[in-house]
Amino acid sequence: MADINSIAKQFTDFYYQTFDANRANLGPLYRETSMLSWEGTPIQGVGAIVEKITTLPFQKVQHKVTTLDAQPSSPTIASLIVSVTGLLMVDDSPNPLQFSQVFQLIPDGSSYYVYNDIFRLNYG
């Protein structure tokens, strides 16, 4: 297995840069079997996931990752779990929101797709 920390870093850099620039372009990272849990609400399938993330109630967003952890998630395939915490800068608000997000990435050819995606805002 390739270095999971570098895979996790490459994936999260791509994911958040794409999310911040044009959320609709995240569709190819998901499959019909993929599931997103957004603030406790389960959403399954590419179309439903893209609809959810493209209709979020903000225009501009910037993710700032503060922690990134990765572990292998299967002894038989090169899948991994990626846990992220960070800050969201939404629209022009001076107050960032704290978030956590967990991805399960499954190999697909020379790349990976998101099988599970769990997102939560962290209120303090």
What is the H or E stretch that residue 8 is in?
helix 4-21
- Give the chain's domain count: 1
Q: What is the pLDDT of residue 64?
A: 97
Question: Which residues on neighbouring strands pair with residue 105, listed in sequence order?
Answer: 80, 114
Task: Provide the CATH number for the domain around residue 103.
Answer: 3.10.450.50
Rounded to whole angstroms, the Cα distance separating 11 from 3 reads 12
3-state SS assignment for residue 27: helix
- Could you tell me the residue range of the domain that residue 42 belongs to? 4-121
Mean pLDDT of all residues in 71-91: 95
pLDDT of 1 strictly over 70 = no
The distance of Cα 44 from the centroid of its chain, to the nearest Å, equals 14
Q: What is the pLDDT of residue 2?
A: 58
Rounded to whole angstroms, the Cα distance separating 69 from 83 reads 5
Q: What is the per-residue pLDDT across 2-38, written as a single tens digit (0 to 9) for each?
A: 599 999 999 999 999 999 999 999 999 999 999 999 9
CA nearest to 117, candidates 46, 49, 36, 48: 36
3-state SS assignment for residue 65: strand
Q: Which residues contact 119 (CB under 8 A, 6 or more apart)?
A: 36, 37, 38, 39, 99, 100, 101
pLDDT averaged over every residue in the chain: 95
Rounded to whole angstroms, the Cα distance separating 111 from 72 reads 15
pLDDT of 91 strictly over 60 = yes
